């Protein structure tokens, strides 16, 4: 959607913290360039935008192409400690965007590894195969086909007309049901700080996901780089007692602290911005 429609309202708000950013890092001496920019560049951008805290949340270790190995976390934390001494006006956090794997509810960050991070986000991505690679590959394939064949559009139409059960003739119900179970099990089992871009790359019953977030106290992300939560799903999620968080999902320093697209979707959905934990009205 075009956030310029909400320009005057957007100007009234500022972002307090951003927990969803990616940086480049090295794995076994090899540079992983999934995202651009260093930790320090991201911190500097966040300071420029007046944020009180910035979190780095690289992808969990299970992702086959750009997962951050757990061994890299200590190095990242050392860098953070040095930067924290240099910049006392912003809090720097080291988190992770863990991968939702399968119906077990497991993430690719174990409960023992949880403690190494200041916070854990959880999201669904292709490229994670876990202990049952064949069934994971089938799920990714089905989700990819659904997305590529215009399933998202059809699902939105079907849901609006309350005809969800008659959605895609081949995939109907089954895929949505499976994805929803993956999401809700991961949320209830791990209680992550937030679930990232719910609905992205996978159709799911957002009301069931919102209910799980309500139970677990997990925030639901409005992603500023992806289109989820979508306007329609924001309306559905808002029926539950959930807190929203906007994540820039920056893959380069300049995008850190960006929130206009996400907030515009919230406004379009008619949801009260006071329900977003990390934005505030400017005082002047
Ligand atoms: Zn993500
Ligand atoms: Zn991300």
Domains in the chain with CATH codes: 3-127+181-281 (3.20.20.140)
User: Contact, 42 vs 258, CB < 8 A?
Assistant: no
Beta bridge partners of 30: 27
At residue 4, the pLDDT reads 79
CA dihedral 106, 107, 111, 117 (to 10 degrees): -170
Q: How many CA atoms lie within 13 A of 227 on its CB side?
A: 9
Cα 261 to averaged position of ligand 1 atoms, centre (Å): 16
Task: Give the pLDDT score at 157.
Answer: 64
C-alpha 249 – ligand 2 centre gap (Å): 5
* pLDDT confidence of residue 212: 98
Which ligand is nearest the CA of 22, by number?
2
pTM assigned to the model = 0.89
Helix axes 151-160, 133-148, angle to 10 degrees: 70
Q: What does pLDDT average to in each consecutive run of 10 residues of the chain (284 residues)? A: 82 96 72 78 96 95 80 89 96 96 88 92 83 74 75 65 50 76 95 95 91 98 95 96 97 95 96 97 84
- Ligand closest to the CA atom of residue 58: 2
Confidence at residue 3, expressed as pLDDT on a 0 to 100 scale: 77
So what's the pLDDT on residue 156?
66
- Cβ atoms of 11 and 268 closer than 8 Å: no
Instruction: Transcribe 56-67 into DSSP letters.
Output: EEEEPTT-TTTP
Least Cα distance to 43 among 79, 75, 72, 11 occurs for: 79
Spatial CA neighbour of 212 closest among 196, 229, 189: 189
Give me the pLDDT at residue 162, please.
46
């Amino acid at each position: 959607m075009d956030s310029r429609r909400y320009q005057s309202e957007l100007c009234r708000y500022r972002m307090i913290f951003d927990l969803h950013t990616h940086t480049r890092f090295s794995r076994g001496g090899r540079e992983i360039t999934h995202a651009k920019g260093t930790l320090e560049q991201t911190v500097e951008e966040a300071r420029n935008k007046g944020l009180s805290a910035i979190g780095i949340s690289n992808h969990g270790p299970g992702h086959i192409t750009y997962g951050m190995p757990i061994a890299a976390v200590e190095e990242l934390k050392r860098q953070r400690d040095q930067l924290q001494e240099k910049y006392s006006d912003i809090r720097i956090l080291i988190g992770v965007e863990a991968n939702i794997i399968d119906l077990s509810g497991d993430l690719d960050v174990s409960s023992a590894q949880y403690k190494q991070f200041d916070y854990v986000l959880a999201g669904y991505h292709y490229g994670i195969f876990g202990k049952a690679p064949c069934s994971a590959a089938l799920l990714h394939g089905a989700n990819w086909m659904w997305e590529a064949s215009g399933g998202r559009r059809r699902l939105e139409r079907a849901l609006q007309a309350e005809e969800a059960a008659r959605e895609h003739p081949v995939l109907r119900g089954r895929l949505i049901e499976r994805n929803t179970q993956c999401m809700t099990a991961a949320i209830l089992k791990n209680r992550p700080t937030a679930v990232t871009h719910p609905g992205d790359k996978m159709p799911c019953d957002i009301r069931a996901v919102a209910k799980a977030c309500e139970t677990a106290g997990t925030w639901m992300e409005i992603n500023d780089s992806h289109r989820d939560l979508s306007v329609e799903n924001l309306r559905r999620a808002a029926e539950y007692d959930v807190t929203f968080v906007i994540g820039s999902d920056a893959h380069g320093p300049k995008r850190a602290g960006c929130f206009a697209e996400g907030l515009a979707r919230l406004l379009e959905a008619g949801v009260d911005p006071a329900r977003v934990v990390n934005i505030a009205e400017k005082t002047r």
